Amino acid sequence: MTIQPPETATRMRSDERRELILAAATSVFGERGYVGTTTDAIARAAGVSQPYVVRMFGTKEALFLEVLQRALDRLLATFRAAIADPTPVAGPDDTLGHRIGMSYAELLLDRGLLLSLMHSFLLGADPVIGAAARAGFLSVYRLLREEAGFSAEETDQFLAHGMMMNTMVGLRMADEYADGDPCAKDLLETAMPQKLELLLRTTAENTPA
């Protein structure tokens, strides 16, 4: 009888490797978009073989859908944590909308996550990805209206500001800010005054040497 050796601490479990690939795919899809990304590029970023990626996820479309769902799950969990925060309100500016907005800004640390969401929104005409992106966007809207208790107008303003932040990240507007462009300075300091330092640091960390 052959006895299988126990799994060692250095051997990565399949669920860990799956998460590794999803994290790599989030980064690559975020930077290159859906059309510009290949499973080979994702495999290289994850440090695995391309056949392994295909064996685990099937098609690029299936992998992108998992990246999209992972991003939405994290976004919704982040918002729910802000809603459930028991910390007393510190002042008139410390509203629920402000707390949720600040939690959203923290997601800038995972640059690929927000950009992957943006890329999914551009694929609205795709029968599969477009449907998933619409359902995901509506789940965010539903959370803000039903769980956060925002009015339709408050939800509109919140989402508009979030999309502005996403646009600033996607455009790497922090590069123009660092170069001293006065309009970029005015725009960023107005759009995200409390998270500007975080945006600048995140952009610098994601700039190729």
The pLDDT tens digits of the residues spanning 1-47 come to 444 444 433 456 888 999 999 999 999 999 999 999 999 999 999 99
Average pLDDT over residues 188-192: 88
Alpha-carbon distance of 98 to 46, in angstroms, equals 36
The structure's pTM equals: 0.85
CB atoms within 10 A of CB 116: 26
The pLDDT value given to residue 75: 96
Q: Is the pLDDT of residue 92 over 80?
A: no
Residue 161 lies in a domain: yes
The pLDDT value given to residue 109: 78
Same domain membership, residue 108 and residue 68: yes
Q: For a pLDDT cut of 70, what percent of the chain falls above it?
A: 91
* CATH classification at residue 88: 1.10.357.10
Residue 2 lies in a domain: no
Alpha-carbon distance of 135 to 18, in angstroms, equals 24
Same domain membership, residue 74 and residue 138: yes
Average pLDDT over residues 157-173: 90
Same domain membership, residue 186 and residue 116: no
Same domain membership, residue 66 and residue 34: yes
Same domain membership, residue 200 and residue 106: no
Residue 72 lies in a domain: yes
Enclosing domain of residue 198: 171-204
Residue 55 lies in a domain: yes
Q: Which of 20-29, 67-76, 198-207 has the lowest mean pLDDT?
A: 198-207
CA 186 to chain centre: 25
Residue 9 lies in a domain: no
Give the dihedral sign, CA 162/164/165/167: positive
Same domain membership, residue 195 and residue 101: no
Same domain membership, residue 50 and residue 88: yes
The pLDDT value given to residue 11: 59
Answer whether 136's CB lies under 8 Å from 79's CB. no
Residue 4 lies in a domain: no
Average pLDDT over residues 121-148: 97
- Looking at per-residue pLDDT, the higher value among 204 and 180 belongs to 180
Same domain membership, residue 158 and residue 131: yes
The pLDDT value given to residue 148: 96
Give how many domains the chain has, as a whole number: 2
